[in-house]
Structure 1
């Protein structure tokens, strides 16, 4: 029977989303959350959800629609730009705050690079 990674309770998960650290027995879950498949999608969603009410509120400011949409875009576009630009910095901080190695963030990328290199070498390298 395969062993499954323990997951945090709802209360602990909400605390984690608010920036708190999880206990050491949940570090495997934290590593998977930060470096696993879909980590970027989860990161973007977690950061954009609190912004949606603010942007929706700006649509109720009196004035022409062009001004309202411009206000929303003036906040949304730079926010998303910096959100993605600083993704690695924030995720490394999350790993360090849990007492984990920040190099874990590059684990999946390095595995992909190694696989691509092996495929390239097997395809284009001459046999000795």
Structure 2
């Protein structure tokens, strides 16, 4: 039986919660962490599941605006720190799956190389 290249639903849930996938799925992990939509997937995986937990503040006695304010006091810093730690998270997940951590910012490096090449062509250095 050949090894699968993509995780099944149960493995996907484990992956989202931090488990390591088998080596046969490294290409899928690399695409998940660095491919198109990686930033969106990362943010959604962290920011959406916490919303129901924060909604518990709405059950506290008092005006609704107070519960919403308490939710915002926790959610706004969560957004900030989630975005700020994205690179660290990607590097950690790549290392955990046996991949090169330098791949965490491969899209930025590719863009910078293309910009550099265009600059050198434009100014007669290439």
TM score, norm. by length of structure 1: 0.88
Structure 1: stretches of 5+ with no match in the other structure: none
Deviation at 1:64, TM superposition (A): 1.4
The question of 1:75 aligning with 2:71 is answered: no
1:46 equivalenced with 2:49 (yes/no): no
What's 1:102 paired with? Answer: 101
Q: After superposition, what is the alpha-carbon deviation per residue over 1:51-94, rounded to whole angstroms, capped at 9, x for unaligned?
A: 01112211222211221111011000011111111111111111
Question: For 1:45 and 1:106, how far apart are their aligned partners in 2?
Answer: 19
Q: Distance in 2 between matches of 1:127 and 1:62?
A: 69
The 1:127/1:113 distance shift into structure 2, 3 A limit, reads closer
Q: What's the counterpart of residue 34 of structure 1?
A: 33
Q: Call closer, same or farther: CA 1:63–1:101 in 2, change over 3 Å.
A: same
Corresponding pairs, count: 123
Give the alignment's TM-score, normalised by structure 2.
Answer: 0.90
Instruction: Tell me how far 1:98 sits from its aligned partner.
Output: 0.8
User: What secondary structure sits across from 2:62 in the alignment?
Assistant: coil
In the aligned structure 2, how far is the partner of 1:107 from the partner of 1:87? Answer: 14
Poorly superposed stretches of 4+, deviation over 3 Å: none
Distance change >3 Å, CA 115–CA 65, structure 1 → 2 = same
Task: Tell me how large the CA RMSD over aligned residues is.
Answer: 1.7
